[in-house]
Amino acid sequence: EPEVTQTPSHQVTQMGQEVILRCVPISNHLYFYWYRQILGQKVEFLVSFYNNEISEKSEIFDDQFSVERPDGSNFTLKIRSTKLEDSAMYFCASSSLGGDGNTIYFGEGSWLTVV
């Protein structure tokens, strides 16, 4: 079964450092998402991406965050200058279409620890 893959599975970084989390969405999918889950809290929407641009972003997704699709397969989330409160599990997700009726599939997540 096709799946969303993410790397790294776990990253520890110092506060203020830049981090790039990588995702390979399911190959025929066109819509891509990042969600995050702080330990013990809800899964929260960060951003959705379609046709090489952001289609929706939450208030969490401030200027420190950016997303990119550098080639035909990868989808990245960059945090420019990490803060302690960025420590969380970051999930990449994709769907074949963006409309209702399309399942969103999640990757295994990248656990980011900021120290």
Residues at the site binding another protein, with contacts judged by CB under 8 A: 4, 35, 41-45, 48, 50, 55-56, 89, 91, 98-101, 103-109
In whole angstroms, give the CA distance from residue 33 to residue 39.
20
Write the CB contacts of 36 (distance below 8 Å, at least 6 apart in sequence). Answer: 43, 44, 46, 60, 88, 89, 90, 91
Check whether the bond before 25 is cis (ω within 30° of 0): no
**In the complex, least distance from residue 47 CB atom to another protein, rounded to whole angstroms:** 10
Q: How far apart, in whole angstroms, are the C-alpha atoms of residue 36 and residue 49? A: 15
> Residue 88 CB, nearest distance to another protein (Å)?
13
CB of 77 to another protein, least distance (A): 16
> Closer to another protein at the Cβ: 24 or 104?
104
For another protein, give the closer residue by CB, 59 or 71: 59
